Amino acid sequence: MSKGFQAHKPRMTPQEFEARMKRSAERKRKLAAKLDDEAMLIAAVRFYLDALLPTRTAEAGPVCEQTYGMSLKWKRHLLAARRILGLMWRDKGQTLRLPSTYLERLQRIGLDLVRDFDGRAEFFQLNADLIIDDALTTYAFFRPILIGAKAFLSGDQWSEAENGFKPKPLKLNLYSQCLQNQVMEELALRRHP
């Protein structure tokens, strides 16, 4: 066998994929059951939103360094915040990426940073240092998100009351579709000339 040859890993079978999804859902349900502090969860979300920009990758090292040595309770709430925001690890754990849908995900747990302008301003004035202070405790008291976060992590279905928050796919007219196709072609050409 030559040095440059690497054995190709076989694709996952549908049964293996299904088993993996079930294990993931079970881990999220267990995590949801262990969440018990509104302020910690809000502090964790605020921490990640301060460290990352939407749809851009950031070095994971400095983010992980700030959370190193935290208590198990903090680590649970940080993990829950990552799951809620939909953070993605890239480049074998070297970078983190915040998806563009993070605001919809936050709306689903009850933290509306789009429509609630006063709440948005107050949220971004909170400290991002994973320190529970009076401002954070007050914010958490008036914006309880723990029940929504537990439902989100447990995979509960959208209720009729939440349908206003459920992300709906955009329907583009013919002109917008053509424009979108042209932009995507331009991006593809820039990446692979």
Q: How far apart are CA 99 and CA 1, in angstroms?
A: 41
Q: Over the stretch 67-108, which tens digit does the pLDDT of each residue have?
A: 888 999 999 999 999 999 988 888 877 888 888 889 999 998
174 is written with which tokens? 């013919």
Average pLDDT rounded to a whole number, residues 101-128:
88
Q: What is the pTM of this model?
A: 0.70
Q: How many helices (DSSP H) and strands (DSSP E) are in the chain? A: 9, 3
Does residue 111 contact residue 80 with C-beta atoms inside 8 Å?
no
DSSP secondary-structure letter at 100?
T
Please give the Cα distance from 102 to 174 (Å, whole number). 28
Q: What is the pLDDT of residue 160?
A: 45
Contacts for 166-172 with beta carbons within 8 Å, 24 or more apart? 166/108, 167/101, 167/104
- Sketch the domain layout of the chain as residue ranges: 19-168
Give the pLDDT confidence of 17-61 residue by residue, as tens digits. Answer: 888 888 888 888 888 889 889 999 999 999 999 888 777 777 888
